[in-house]
A and B are shown apart, each in its own frame.
Chain A
Amino acid sequence: MVVSAALAVGLVTTLITNPRYEWGTVNEYLFAPDILRGLRMTIILTVVSMLIGIALGIVLAVIRLSPSKLASGLAGAYIGFFRGTPVLVQLIFWFNFSALYPKVVIGIPFGPEFFLVNINLLITPFVAATLTLGLNEGAYMAEIVRSGILSVPEGQTYAASSLGLSRLQTLRKVVLPQAMRVIVPPTGNEVIGMLKTTSIVSIIALSELLYSAQSIYTRTYETIPLLIVVSIWYLLATSVLTFGQQYLERRFGRGTTRTAPVARFQMLRNAWGMTRREAGVQ
């Protein structure tokens, strides 16, 4: 107890007294245009990759649970492949995809070509990055969505079927909304994980947050201060995401407790709406 307290005090002291942290430099670069552009790219990458991942995950989970052994097996193979190879390897693979297939032709073999795609031009660093992160995320999301679907009692499906709802209607209106309660918390983790994982695309020279900082400190040698800048932004972004996750969890917790749940964000919004109404604003 005493030892850890002493260590903590010592660490804080060095944070203030050690000049090599260069807090001034941190402050200087925190809102630098290059850093903010990098942050924007990180956010775009996270959003696009997660959207691909979630959409793919739902589709894969449904196929995985389909009665067809072949379809289920194919989805299983996809999940196994993407979970079984490092995402960094996948990234480099997609980035070099044109070495494998320089161009893709749509047409009749040995016959006329209708459509030709130059893979080298198609796979930009951004495309390689979102493709890698999205396809990889799809495998993880598939397992999360699958566990969510399996958490919904079978009786719900029977009840929906007996009313005449189709498989798809049952999935959309009855099963998925209930599965969300199980799906949201781990998905929140995935988004936070994704936000940080986007930093690996710095190796294919895509100017996200980390790469933007790297390109500054390779010039100025202010490595530590810039890494602090980067960490501050990552921390801030993950904090915002955590807040959003809590909101979603309460939103999809509807009907599971006897008292109607109100999310913190909804409370804020309600309070805001009330003051606006009181002030006579429409």
Chain B
Amino acid sequence: MMGQAVAHTYSARREGDFMLQAHDVHKFFGSLHVLDSVSLDVAKGEVVCIIGPSGSGKSTFLRCINHLDKIDAGRMSVDGRLVGYTERGSRLHELPERDLLKQRADIGMVFQHFDLFPHMSVLENVCLAPVLLKRRTKQEAKAAAVELLRRVGLADKLQAYPVQLSGGQQQRVAIARALAMEPKLMLFDEPTSALDPELVGEVLVVMKELARTGMTMIVVTHEIGFASEVADTLVFMDRGRVVESGDPRTVISQPREERTRTFLSQVLS
């Protein structure tokens, strides 16, 4: 049953309704089995939160979705297309770099430590990829960036450099930077873990707002409150496996598995 829990929830859906389909994904770092038969389906417009102790493979799973890490076995597809590979006959071939980059450009990612480009202003950070990848002209990109930065509440910081911003502000710029590529899917890798407690809220507000617009989101997080409020599905991972998943409130209040219970009691205490 493990790892399949989500799949049956959406068994009524058709193939085309899924943004992410991961089936029996394995990943090794040397002899370490980081992902052990992970399966997860995410419907279009769905918000999935992944929780679990550190080292449980959550972040690695996220990085496999846009091929920053390669999976060693299994299948992973985003919007109906295999990630990083093409299928000819029954064989998988690695995608040429150009196609891989196109795939990545459609998947936005937000990191724990923001990773803004420190030598560029806020506006330049947001405009870089759309202009460089010729999705927009400079003028269009700038207008779109200003609009995005207004949405995340930073319209007055266009010319600031990342170092002049608080962590919460930097993370909101990072979200705007990812959104500037108009992704179909947004990945958040512990977006509030590096923030001072009083700055967590402003980032979560932006993420809630994004969820409300119908963006498909996969969020690795320790914010149980956010997960229960915003997520459609909560996934608990431990030691590279999906232990339990389902409706967030049910998983939190009545966890089926002992490990989930132990973890939640530690996090919530």
Q: Which residues of A contact B (CB under 8 A)?
A: 153, 155-156, 158-167, 169, 173-174, 177-178, 252, 254-258, 260
Contacts and interface: CB of A to CB of B under 8 A. Distances in A.
B143 interface: no
B115 interface: yes
A163 B97 contact: no
A164 B106 CA distance: 8
B133 interface: yes
Contacts of B98: 166
B117 A258 contact: no
B226 interface: no
A111 to B, nearest CB: 37
A241 to B, nearest CB: 24
Given A163-B177, A169-B132, A252-B119, 19 more contacts: A155-B113, A158-B63, A158-B111, A159-B116, A159-B174, A163-B104, A164-B102, A164-B106, A164-B129, A165-B132, A166-B97, A166-B101, A173-B128, A173-B132, A174-B117, A254-B119, A255-B119, A256-B118, A258-B163
B71 interface: no
Interface in B86-122: 97-98, 101-102, 104-109, 111, 113, 115-120
Nearest to B133: A164
Interface residues of B, number: 33
Contacts of A255: 118-120, 161-163
B148 to A, nearest CB: 14
Contacts, number: 73
Contacts of B116: 159
Contacts of B177: 163
A178 B128 contact: no
A228 to B, nearest CB: 44
Nearest to A166: B101
B129 A178 contact: no
Interface string B247-260: 00000000000000
B164 interface: yes
A163 B68 contact: no
B68 A162 contact: yes
A174 B106 CA distance: 20
Contacts of A254: 119, 161
A165 B129 contact: yes
A161 B68 contact: yes
B192 interface: no
Contacts of B164: 258
Contacts of A256: 118, 163
Contacts of B221: none
B115 A159 contact: yes
A209 B102 CA distance: 55
B107 A162 contact: yes
B230 to A, nearest CB: 22
B117 A164 contact: no
A193 to B, nearest CB: 27
B35 interface: no
A158 B68 contact: yes
A67 B63 CA distance: 20
Nearest to A177: B119
Nearest to A163: B129
